[in-house]
Structure 1
Amino acid sequence: MNEPGGDALRIGTAEREDAMRLLGEHFAAGRLQMGEYEQRLDAVTTAVTRGDLRGLFADLPPPYPAFMAPPLWAAPPPRPMPAYPPHTYPAPAAYDPNRSPKSKLVAGLLQICLPFGVGRFYTGHHGIAIAQLLTCGGLGIWSMIDGIILLVTESTDAEGRRLQD
């Protein structure tokens, strides 16, 4: 169709055999009578160009010889990507040397849930942590009160920096 040479292009044995096979399928489907089938087979054997074969299939539905297949559609061109505004990242938090990287919430919960000075080990107060460990957290009372104090006050780590909220 849109190929160079089109119907004037000469055919070979492979095209003739394909056309005979397809005519056999049309005959088996009942689209051709025995006499008409034989006439078309004779025409296939004497066909020289694609145009000669095209006429033999003009009144038949698919399947057709490969050269008569409709052209493959090219993929549609890619759609342009929508223009989104450039992503802006939040400004990094300014480094505050007076703030501890440790969390007040974590320290308080560790102190309450694990009553052996674990929250104080976390904040770096090793002296208090060892005393709580040796006394089993004052039988749990000292650790619980200390955990609540860590949560509700402006607590600091061992270096004197305020814990993160």
Structure 2
Amino acid sequence: MSNEPTKKILPVFLLCFFLGMFGAHRFYAGKVGTGILQIITLGGLGIWALIDFIMIIIGSFTDSDGNKISEWT
């Protein structure tokens, strides 16, 4: 089994853009705990979701294993 991340940035980007307030991108990345917190706080009133969106765009968003999600397709 390889250590390559299986998550792609395009779905994370789209989920964050459309459903970032509900943490959908965090659930996709395997970060269930913080995804639930984003649901409860509505994405930190939008600030947390915005920070995640910026991190996704610059390629520093990671999955639950700490692997950077950087491949678009």
TM tier relative to shorter chain: 0.7 to 0.9
Deviation at 1:106, TM superposition (A): 1.6
Q: Are 2:25 and 1:138 aligned?
A: no
Distance 1:139 1:132, change over 3 A: same
The CA distance in 1 between the partners of 2:69 and 2:4, in whole Å, is 6
In terms of fraction of residues, the more helix-rich structure is 2
Q: Superposed, which structure 2 residues align to 1:142-157 within 5 Å?
A: 142-157=48-63
Counterpart among 98, 109, 126 of residue 32 in structure 2: 126
Q: TM-score, normalised by structure 2?
A: 0.76
Stretches of 4+ aligned residues off by more than 4 angstroms: none
In terms of fraction of residues, the more strand-rich structure is 1
Contact kept in structure 1, 2:22 and 2:42, CA below 8 Å: yes
Q: Which amino acid aligns with 1:109?
A: L
Determine which structure has greater relative contact order: mean sequence separation of CA pairs < 8 Å that are 6+ residues apart, divided by chain length.
2
The CA distance in 2 between the partners of 1:156 and 1:99, in whole Å, is 12
Q: Deviation digits for residues 110-153 of structure 1, max 9, x if unmatched?
A: 11211210000000011111111100111222212212212213
Q: Superposed, which structure 2 residues align to 1:11-160 within 5 Å?
A: 97-114=2-19, 115-160=21-66
Q: What is the SS of the residue equivalent to 1:161?
A: coil
Unaligned runs of 5+ in 2: none
Unaligned runs of 5+ in 1: 1-94
Deviation at 1:164, TM superposition (A): 4.4
Cα-Cα RMSD: 1.9
Q: What is the SS of the residue equivalent to 2:69?
A: strand
Identity among equivalent pairs (%): 40
Q: Which amino acid aligns with 1:111?
A: C
